[in-house]
Amino acid sequence: MDSCLMVWHMKPQSRAYRFAGHKDAVTCVNFSPSGHLLASGSRDKTVRIWIPNVKGESTVFRAHTATVRSVHFCSDGQSFVTASDDKTVKVWSTHRQKFLFSLSQHINWVRCARFSPDGRLIVSASDDKTVKLWDKTSRECVHSYCEHGSFVTSVDFHPSGTCIAAAGMDNTVKVWDVRTHRLLQHYQLHSAAVNALSFHPSGNYLLTASSDSTLKILDLMEGRLLYTLHGHQGPATTVAFSRTGEYFASGGSDEQVMVWKSNFDVVDYGEVLKVHRPPAPLATSSGSLPEVDFPIPPGRGRSQESVQSQPQEPTSMPQTLTSTLEHIVGQLDVLTQTVSILEQRLTLTEDRLKQCLENQQLIMQRTPP
């Protein structure tokens, strides 16, 4: 709200950079994939691209006619997308420093826009209660998701690119498959508007920030709430995982930026990132929808590799039977992983219980009769 950007160094005692240039509140920031550029959007209707060093030089991009709410670089860094209160989504060229084209089917403020991991699709969220999926090449709206009951505040692609998650002022988070456009998951866990969300790079977890002042970590593999985090005094307005998923950061109306260690995952990060796939069986957390399947895309995950590594023998099995068997193998693989994680959590709980008992015995020994 002070019109400035702050770039913080993760090393202790390192100086933070403070960039001034915007004429009104800064609403959004995003690093380029290389980390050499930083984009920001503002209430002053402009986008700025900064070189994040001591000088803090920036280039101004003008085309929006109202507040810019969101900015996001494409995975190749060649272009970026913005969303604005002028009801448009705009795509820009990073290095040619020019506006390319607008996407203009929303009928109210657009709060968020994101590129898909492969850069072919764009997803946008709006106060018109819709989430729209766009084809970047044809510039046409592929599909509109209309299940939200109020303004949609935030949207993002799953790292696999096969689904999207959106958060809204109706206190819900929804997950859709972008290929079939089916609603896969529905969470109603916050007691106030959900303002932001971020996928863990593994795709197994979703992080949300809400006006109820909490952050929540959702386990997408099991379709349930994993943790509720209390830290902000007032609405939590934004959240993001680091590139590796080792950390996440949150910002709030309390003027605080908090950096958290992502130690909720008991599996080694390297192993998790190797799997890198969407979850398999998904159930809703609101009870309003039946259990639904989250198909595993071909070539992703160990279950597919185990199927494809078998010797290819002549067979007359129909394609539907083959795909069904592959899907069952995938489900079994997920169940095996889930049981393994539960065993690790049980061991952790037993260790904590043992520690508590030991502490209690020490206290009793110290207490005079």
Among the listed residues 304, 346, 341, 357, the one whose alpha carbon sits nearest the alpha carbon of residue 326: 304
CA atoms within 13 A of residue 116's CA, in its CB half-sphere: 20
Tally of CB atoms within 10 A around 309: 7
Alpha carbons 183 and 187: distance in angstroms, whole number: 11
The whole-model pTM stands at: 0.72
What is the mean pLDDT of the segment spanning 311-328? Answer: 62
Tens digits of residue pLDDT in 51-91: 988 888 899 999 999 999 999 999 999 999 999 999 999 99
- The first and second tokens of residue 132, run together, are 């729209």
What's the pLDDT at 180? 94
Share of the chain above pLDDT 90, in %: 63
For the purposes of burial, counting CB atoms within 10 Å of the CB of 223, is it exposed (0-12), middle (13-18) or buried (19 or more)?
buried
What's the pLDDT at 327? 75
Tally of CB atoms within 10 A around 327: 16
Bridge-based pairing state of the strands 26-31 and 38-42: antiparallel
What's the pLDDT at 116? 96
Residue 1 has pLDDT above 80, yes or no: yes
Tens digits of residue pLDDT in 219-278: 999 999 999 999 999 999 999 999 999 999 999 999 999 999 998 655 544 444 444 455
How many Å is the Cα radius of gyration of the chain?
23
How many angstroms from the chain centroid is the CA of residue 139? 24
Report yes or no: 237 and 251 within 8 Å, Cβ to Cβ.
yes
Alpha carbons 331 and 313: distance in angstroms, whole number: 24
Alpha carbons 21 and 27: distance in angstroms, whole number: 14
